[in-house]
Amino acid sequence: MVEAKGIYHRYDKKGCDVLHNINFVINRGEFVFIVGPSGAGKSTLFKMIIREIVPTKGILRVFGHDLAAMRRGRIPYLRRNIGMVFQDFRLLEEHTTFDNIAFALRVIGATGREIRRRVPYVLELVGLTDKATARVCDLSGGEQQRIGLARAIVNRPAMIIADEPTGNLDPDNSYEIMNILRTINMRGTTVLVATHNREIVDRLKKRVIHLDRGRLTVDEAKGVYSSAL
Q: Give the per-residue pLDDT at 222.
A: 85
Give the model confidence (pLDDT) of 76-107 as tens digits.
999 999 999 887 878 888 999 999 999 999 98
Domains plus CATH for the chain?
29-42+81-228 (3.40.50.300)
CB 169 within 8 A of CB 141: yes
C-alpha separations of 63 from 2, 81, 129, 213 in Å: 6, 9, 33, 27
Indicate the pairing of strand 2-9 with strand 57-62: antiparallel
159 closest CA partner among 226, 65, 227: 65
For residue range 146-174, list pLDDT tens digits in order. 999 999 999 999 999 999 888 888 888 89
Task: Extract the runs of DSSP E, i.e. beta strands, from 16-169.
Answer: 19-26, 31-35, 57-62, 65-66, 82-86, 159-163
Strand order across the 65-66 sheet: 19-26, 2-9, 57-62, 65-66
Mean local confidence (pLDDT), 203-225: 92
